Structure 1
């Protein structure tokens, strides 16, 4: 999802973050509680429309040629699309900037990510089969580092590099959201990254099962390849279902294992950006890790929602060991429902705040990076799946 200022190999000062769009206000425009309330009503209505479309489109398309594609399209697609459409209408009417205070992308995203932690049980990593854990760690490392290197080679901004690398190596849109909060990326960068995730994920639903069948891969290897390469969970599920029941089981395990590493990567990104990027006030970076000034700077920059994400995951893990399934499932379902709504509001707001001129600045380079990294992911993921799952038996 991106506007980026090309990285010149050196450090750049972090931009000042503002809850309102960075574009100048319209002449004579003022922000008032009434306009803010009206903007919030629009955001809520659009989120409601997203919920309707998410359920309605697959039902209407069921049994048709596009039925599987419609089933795999996730709510971020509808949310961003409706946000874009509303953006265009409100901009033409000269009203969008007046309502800017209601488009609280950062707030909605952080709430959604904390609740996302409650649905990621870290005990899964411990209980998962060894091959799934090894594949997740190796694949995330290789794909992340390649994407980071290649994007840097093409001169992309470090924050956009972080979003692209996280989305490609971990779990698509959710990873991009976490990375955006950790590195304070622009909303346009997040919107661009999420768009690329969806564009590349949908064809993979049919391409990977077809290639696996063409190569005669065993079910476990097929599932591991699908789970490790397709970025969105819904697309992984759809592709696994196309490949068969056994590939679907392994694909789900591998994907959940990758998802569980989301918080770890967010923390590492925070550490990297806190000590590589110069402070906004122009002061020198901390001389060494661990002194008082460096620790204070790290805490100031550290996105507190990451702690919430990790804490929610730990609590969910503990509850999973102490409560029965009948007691636990309703609580997790409620957290998941609120999380989806919070992220839906965030993606709608991203569309409403989107600045087309910023995307034009990014040009073709992020697309080339995404395509090249996807190819690396496919090749390395296939190799790891064959080595780690070739002897797996159900």
Structure 2
């Protein structure tokens, strides 16, 4: 009789909870990872600041840290560790290349983020070269995305939002609810599939890239569909960032109204800051408050979406609808959201301010690194042609119309609250 030895495998969401928590604990009590320098403007600055021995050592330390965390993730989720250790260095090098590109001063001035470079680099390599299947199988896209989201929780500080003012919170709540439901209704009318509907609705209404990622995690969405939504978010954020301040100036909108409009309409935080800066100091302050207020709703939204998904999705391989019992809801609930909320509560209310400040920038850097690694992986495993098939036109139309609705409704609410 042959005895088959089964490999222990932990559910990926629980693995993320453990790994994300370990990263935070490690930073708080053992070692704060130094932050690499990516900023440069000339080739000489690139050599003198980025490619120095000290900075390369910091990048190597970060590489070892993320490699160990990723390897632990492979171990506890039952994936081949050897293949991960062989394939990950290539993914990391591509990711660092994307981060360095995004660190250029001109690129920063037009607010192109590292994730779009990592996604494009991955798409180019993944579609020009036939990558071995063992390499594709080792890409830890979901693991990296969710660890990044757990670390994102450390930056969502509830006390800062409350101090910033109630009007920003009120606008965020009204905009998120109204725009989300309009986008959801529109996607249903255009017969967009359920996964894209949820991702588009969250991306347009809450906070763009992070919301799309969180929603994809909550519904266990297709990474290819996630990359499509992320592409739409990043591409539309650029013209909005550039033209909205000029529209506000043409119609003589007050700075507070303009800031609230920008913060509630533009999907990426970096683009909000850039556009607010073009208007003035008061607009920058209000736009940041409003955008930050929307970011706070991310965890609540992910929780609500996971419950909705549990109630409405059919069981795989059957035609019967799963009963919405507490057991089913718990099984389908994305456990990483618990770690996100716990991290936010810890850094908001329980951690001394000095301790939080000591690790804040390091954890922010790791969050960005994991997100960028995730989008490199998404690009490598995505067929570029899939992003531009004819059937993808309806989601694009839905996204653009929902974004237009977002711009109009947010302006009305901004005038009502801040005008």
Distance in 1 (CA, whole Å) between partners of 2:81 and 2:298 is 37
Distance in 1 (CA, whole Å) between partners of 2:390 and 2:310 is 26
Q: Aligned to 2:112, which of 73, 80, 89?
A: 73
Corresponding residue for residue 280 of structure 2: 244
Q: Is the 8 A contact 2:102 2:108 kept in 1?
A: no
**How far off its partner does 1:184 sit?**
1.2
**How far off its partner does 1:38 sit?**
3.4
TM-score using structure 1 length: 0.82
1:46 aligns with 2:94: yes
Corresponding residue for residue 407 of structure 2: 378
Deviates more, 1:195-204 or 1:82-91: 82-91
Q: Is the 8 A contact 1:128 1:257 kept in 2?
A: no
Q: Is the 8 A contact 1:128 1:253 kept in 2?
A: yes
Corresponding residue for residue 175 of structure 1: 211
Distance in 1 (CA, whole Å) between partners of 2:330 and 2:83 is 35
Q: Aligned to 1:87, which of 110, 115, 126?
A: 126
Q: Is the 8 A contact 1:229 1:377 kept in 2?
A: yes
| Matched position secondary structure for 1:118 | helix
**How far off its partner does 1:365 sit?**
0.9
Corresponding residue for residue 347 of structure 1: 375
User: How big is each residue's C-alpha offset from its partner over 1:131-168, in whole Å with a ceiling of 9 and x where there is no partner?
Assistant: 11111011001111111111111111111001001110
List runs of 5+ in structure 2 lacking aligned partners: 1-11, 13-78
Taking a change above 3 Å as real, the CA distance of residues 369 and 361 of structure 1, as seen in their structure-2 partners, is same
1:198-347 superposed matches below 5 A: 198-280=234-316, 282=318, 284-285=320-321, 287=323, 294-319=325-350, 322-324=352-354, 327-347=355-375
**How far off its partner does 1:102 sit?**
2.2
| Matched position secondary structure for 1:363 | helix
**How far off its partner does 1:207 sit?**
1.0
Distance in 2 (CA, whole Å) between partners of 1:383 and 1:183 is 32
| Aligned-residue CA RMSD (Å) | 1.9
**How far off its partner does 1:357 sit?**
5.1
**How far off its partner does 1:278 sit?**
1.5
**How far off its partner does 1:298 sit?**
1.0
Q: Aligned to 1:148, which of 171, 175, 184?
A: 184
TM-score using structure 2 length: 0.78
Distance in 2 (CA, whole Å) between partners of 1:331 and 1:34 is 32
Taking a change above 3 Å as real, the CA distance of residues 358 and 130 of structure 1, as seen in their structure-2 partners, is same
List runs of 5+ in structure 1 lacking aligned partners: 1-16, 18-30
Aligned residue-pair number = 341
Q: Is the 8 A contact 2:315 2:322 kept in 1?
A: no
**How far off its partner does 1:277 sit?**
0.5
User: How big is each residue's C-alpha offset from its partner over 1:241-266, in whole Å with a ceiling of 9 and x where there is no partner?
Assistant: 11111100000000000001000110
Q: Which has the higher contact order (CA 8 A, sep 6+)?
A: 1
Distance in 1 (CA, whole Å) between partners of 2:205 and 2:84 is 38
Taking a change above 3 Å as real, the CA distance of residues 32 and 169 of structure 1, as seen in their structure-2 partners, is closer
| Matched position secondary structure for 1:263 | helix
**How far off its partner does 1:281 sit?**
5.2
Q: Is the 8 A contact 1:209 1:239 kept in 2?
A: yes
Corresponding residue for residue 165 of structure 1: 201
Corresponding residue for residue 26 of structure 1: none
**How far off its partner does 1:34 sit?**
5.9
